Amino acid sequence: MGNMSYCRFRNTLKDLRDCKHAINHQEDVEGAEESARDELIKMCVELAAPTLYDAAERWTSSEKELRILRSFIESALRGAK
């Protein structure tokens, strides 16, 4: 059963924290679970990239650094697809 709309983000946040812990501690997964882990990482990049792209302007006043940050974000997005 899917998450109820009134607690979707709270439930998902808890689950994502658990997944983050498993990834950071390099817990062994294989098969369908390994594929799901990889897809989850790609989706997180896709979710974060637009926000990071816009936030990059607030992080630096250097045009060169801004180009580097945005290039990195764009590269991450290409790799996620």
pLDDT tens-place string over residues 49-72 = 888 888 888 888 889 988 898 898
pTM of the predicted structure, to 2 decimals: 0.71
Number of structural domains found in the chain: 2
- For residue 39, pLDDT over 70 is answered with yes
Length of the chain: 81
* pLDDT (average), residues 18-33: 93
Q: Examine the domain organization and report whether 24 and 48 are in the same domain.
A: no
Q: Tokens 């997005």: give the residue.
A: 77
Q: Examine the domain organization and report whether 79 and 40 are in the same domain.
A: yes
From the list 43, 38, 34, 35, the residue with the least C-alpha distance to 12 is 43
Q: Examine the domain organization and report whether 15 and 54 are in the same domain.
A: no
Enumerate the H helices of 3-62 as residue ranges: 8-24, 32-59
Q: Examine the domain organization and report whether 44 and 61 are in the same domain.
A: yes
Residue 45 is part of which domain span?
A: 31-81
Q: Examine the domain organization and report whether 40 and 72 are in the same domain.
A: yes
Kindly tell me the sign of the dihedral angle through the C-alpha atoms of 3, 18, 54, 78: negative
Q: Examine the domain organization and report whether 49 and 35 are in the same domain.
A: yes
